[in-house]
Structure 1
């Protein structure tokens, strides 16, 4: 990650608007640029009256911190990269959100298993996996099958623009999709009720 990324990384809106965020050194973490981040929160918010979120491939923690700045009560951050975990903790400290966050070094599969054991449920989930390691459909199935979603929960998926994602998994339904250059943002929503006669996948 070069200096250009670091200069542009900031909280866009909410209580910490304009607060700079540290970047993860190296090229292993792909940050969500401001234009895409703004689009994401316009699609699902843009502001919130509480709720709990999961940032499963957190990187710098930018999406989860943006959610906290816009009114989310609590975010669980997960990343497998030790450098990313350190940066997330520093960014949480600088924004004052440390008491509203849990940060774990783990891969997505083990993290989801741990969350299932705790019986947690989320209102918002951010899935921004490395493009080479995307297993979005499998993770959507886990979220649905193990009841990790509250009614009407939103799931935001960031992928390469060439990736075609499924329309639905169970009662998780694709509701919005947009592209920015090489990036595609897909929003799914957990339907509280499914139409009578509709077939679940």
Structure 2
């Protein structure tokens, strides 16, 4: 995999050879960023895996990125993949619940959040509820949720801007409020 566009275009993104990770394909990533259009501010790549979504966001203009993954090997892979990034980045190995609560205590919020958890684990509703209740998304911020096309979930206080299916993958872009 490679960065598709922007400052780090063509930079290699290494992925783990494991059935536990499922990198977002180049085509789906490109479509996500075409929908998002302009990227700026702070980005959170929750369930980062290889970090491809957050790295792509930084390449396209994000000023800062935080990567969270609960798996040790994934967090180590992200650290390797961001080693050439000049913008400020932080990589944490942590459970998403603890990580979101810690961000809230630090009054940290984001302009763009990627949620790409393991499929069929019913993680998305809880993650969205925590993001809403802990005020992790900035006003006018957006959330990109990647799930299996058959997964359905409550979006809590968020509104879907665009939902698209690519084969077995469903992308839902959310914003706060109506």
TM, length-normalised to structure 1: 0.84
Q: What does residue 178 of structure 1 align with? A: 164
Instruction: Report the Cα distance in structure 1 between the residues aligned to 2:144 and 2:32, rounded to whole angstroms.
Output: 7
Which secondary structure state, in structure 1, belongs to the residue aligned with residue 120 of structure 2?
helix
Corresponding residue pairs, total: 178
2:122 maps to which of 134, 154, 158 = 134
Query: For residue 148 of structure 2, what is the aligned residue in structure 1?
Result: 160
Deviations 1:168-193 (A, max 9, x none): 422x21111000110000010124xx
Deviation per CA, 1:60-83: give whole Å up to 9, x if none.
000000000000000110001111
TM-score by length of 2: 0.95
- Checking the alignment, whether the CA contact within 8 Å between 2:100 and 2:134 is kept in structure 1 is no
> Does residue 88 of structure 1 match 2:78?
yes
* 2:34 alignment partner in structure 1: 42
Gaps of 5+ in 1: 1-8, 195-201
Structure 1 runs, 4 residues or longer, greater than 3 Å off: none
Match of 2:89 among 80, 101, 104: 101
The CA RMSD over aligned residues, in Å, is: 1.3
Structure number with greater Rg is 1
CA distance in 2, matches of 1:135, 1:61: 19
Which of the pair is proportionally richer in helix? 1
1:25 touches 1:83 (CA, 8 Å); kept in 2?
no
Q: For 2:164 and 2:75, how far apart are their aligned partners in 1?
A: 29
Structure 1 residue aligned with 2:156: 169
